[in-house]
Amino acid sequence: MSALAIASIVEGHGEVEAIRILLTRICAELIRPAVYPTILKPVRVHKSKVASQEGELLRAVDLAILKLSAIESRGLVLLLLDSDDDKACTLAPALTAQVRNARSHVDFACVLAVVEYETWFVAGATSLNLFLSSDSLLHVPADPEAARAGKGWIERFFLEPKYSETVDQPRLTAAFDLPKARENSLSFDKLCRELEKRIHGEEAPND
Task: Give the mean pLDDT of 146-155.
Answer: 98
Residues 42 and 18 sit within 8 Å (Cβ to Cβ): no
pLDDT of residue 30: 96
Task: Give the mean pLDDT of 115-132.
Answer: 97
pLDDT exceeding 90 applies to what percent of the chain? 92
pLDDT of residue 202: 53
Q: pLDDT: is 204 or 168 the higher one?
A: 168
pTM of the model: 0.94
Confidence of residue 205 (pLDDT cuts 50, 70, 90): very low
Give the residue from 163, 137, 135, 133 showing the smallest Cα distance to 151.
163
CA distance 174 to 44: 21
Q: 162: helix, coil or strand?
A: coil
Does pLDDT of 1 surpass 80?
no
Does pLDDT of 32 surpass 60?
yes
Region of poorest pLDDT, from 119-123, 174-178, 201-205:
201-205
What Cα–Cα distance (Å) separates residue 171 from each residue in 24, 25, 110, 127, 175?
14, 13, 24, 12, 7
